[in-house]
Structure 1
C-alpha cells in the first residue's frame, strides 16, 4: 500500500488532513498577486469583525492602508486594540453600512462573526448552531460613500471587501459615490439562503458585473459538515479590462 496514503489516513484519524502545499497556487498567494498586480494601496474592510481579514492581509504581505468598518461594540473594541499595533490600520466610527442613513438593529450571533442586519435562516442554524442570535444592538446606519470619503484621496486604488452576512448589495448600492476608485471587490456569495431575504449567488454576480467588474476567483468559505453541501463562497472581482 502507498506509504503516503497510510500517513494521510493515520493523520485523518487524529482530525488532521495532510495535503500537498503549493504556495504559488494557494488562495492566499492568489490574492496577494492580485492586490500587487492591480497596485492596491487602500483596502476598505466592511464587516471587519475582530480583524480576521486585516490580519490575513498582513500575513500575505500587504502593507498598505486598511480602513475597518464594523457596527458591533465587542468587535469594534477589538479592532481598536489591533490598530494600536498597526499604524496603517484605521478604525472608522462604529456604524452599520447600507443604502440609507438613520438607525438600525443588528442581530448579534453567539459566534459574533455571523451577526447580521437580517434574520438567520433555519438552514443556517441547522448547519451551524453558533449563528443563533443572542442579543440585538441598535447602531447608526450610513452609506459607504459618505463614511469612507474622508479616508480616500483621488489617486487611491481601492480594494473593497464586504462581509456583512447577506447585506452585501445594500452596501454596494450605498457606495456609488466612491465606486469609480474601487479596482477590486471581495464579496460573500450564498448558494442557499443563510439569512432571510438575502440575494443569492447569481443575483449578486449579475449586479457586480453591471458595475463593471469581472469574477477573478472563488473560494468556499462555509459548508454543512453533516451533508458536505457548500452554502457560501467568497468571490473576488476586479475591474473589467
Structure 2
C-alpha cells in the first residue's frame, strides 16, 4: 500500500462516516480529463451517479465504469422539453443556442460551436431523480444550464456540502446565466466560494500571440468554481455532513485546512474520538502536505 493510500484510509477511520460519500456528476462527459473525485473513487470512498445525454460520451463512461459508478442518459434541467444543440465540439453541446455575437469575440471558438444537430429532449429535475438517495458533492458542467439545475434541485442541494460548478464571465450562449447569477443562487442555498479548480482565459479576436490562436492574454472566459457549505455556520450541518465535507475537501481539492476545521468541530461535538485533529496533522506531515 502506498503512503497516500494509507493516509486516505486513516482519514476515513478518523472520521468514521456512516456511509460512502455520494457524488453526483451532472454532465459527466470525460473530455476535460480526470474528475476531481477520482482519488476518492479509486480508494473506494465514494459512489458516483453521473448524467450524460450525449450517447458517445455515455458509452465511453459505461464501458469504463467500476462497481461504484453508474451513468444515466438524462439531461437535467427544469423538467421541461428543450432542444439539445449538438455542436462540432462535444464540450460545447448545450440546451442553449450558441450566441454568435459573443463567439465573434473569440474566433477560435466559432467553428467548435457550430450546431450539427438539434434534438428535442425531456429534461429531468434533480429533485425528482429517485436513483439519488443522498448528495454530498455535486459536480456540474452543463454549458449554461447550471442555474436551471440548481433551481430544480433545492431539496437535494440542502443535503450537499460542496458544489463544483462551471461559471461564465463572458457568456457564449443565448440567455446563459452569468457567474454573478450562479453565485447569488448558491449563496441562497447556504454555500460560499471556496476555491477555483480551474480558470480558462481566451484571446480576444483578432489578436494572435506567437502564432497560437488559442493562447490567451488576460481575458477571463470561464472557470470551475468550488463552493462549500458555509463553514462559518456549522450549526447548519449535522455530523455526517461535516464528515463528508472533510473527505471531499481533503481528497478532491487538497483543502487540508478545511478538513482540519471540520475535525475541530466534530471533536467539539464529541462526534469523533479525542485527538482526531492531532492524528490528522500527523497524517499530513507523513505525506509532506
Which TM-score tier does this pair reach, normalised by the shorter chain? 0.7 to 0.9
Quote the offset at 1:54 in angstroms.
5.8
Higher relative contact order (CA 8 A, sep 6+): 2
Larger Rg: 2
Aligned to 2:122: 140
Greater mean deviation of Cα atoms: 180-189 or 121-130: 121-130
Of 91, 95, 106, 2:74 maps to 95
Gap runs ≥5 in structure 1: 1-32
Greater strand fraction, Structure 1 or Structure 2: 1
Q: Does 1:205 align with 2:187?
A: no
Quote the offset at 1:223 in angstroms.
2.5
Map 1:56-205 onto structure 2 (within 5 A): 56-59=36-39, 63=44, 64-83=46-65, 86-92=66-72, 94-101=73-80, 103-122=81-100, 123-124=102-103, 126-128=107-109, 129-147=111-129, 149-152=130-133, 156=134, 158-205=136-183
Distance in 1 between the 2:216 and 2:33 partners? 27
Q: TM-score, normalised by structure 1?
A: 0.73
Distance in 2 between the 1:203 and 1:104 partners? 21
Gap runs ≥5 in structure 2: 1-10, 204-213, 232-289
Pair 1:165–1:157, CA change in 2 (3 A): closer
Moved over 3 A (4+): 50-56, 59-63
Distance in 1 between the 2:31 and 2:50 partners? 8
Pair 1:51–1:82, CA change in 2 (3 A): farther
Distance in 1 between the 2:225 and 2:88 partners? 25
Distance in 1 between the 2:135 and 2:30 partners? 24
Greater helix fraction, Structure 1 or Structure 2: 2
Q: TM-score, normalised by structure 2?
A: 0.62
Aligned to 1:237: 227
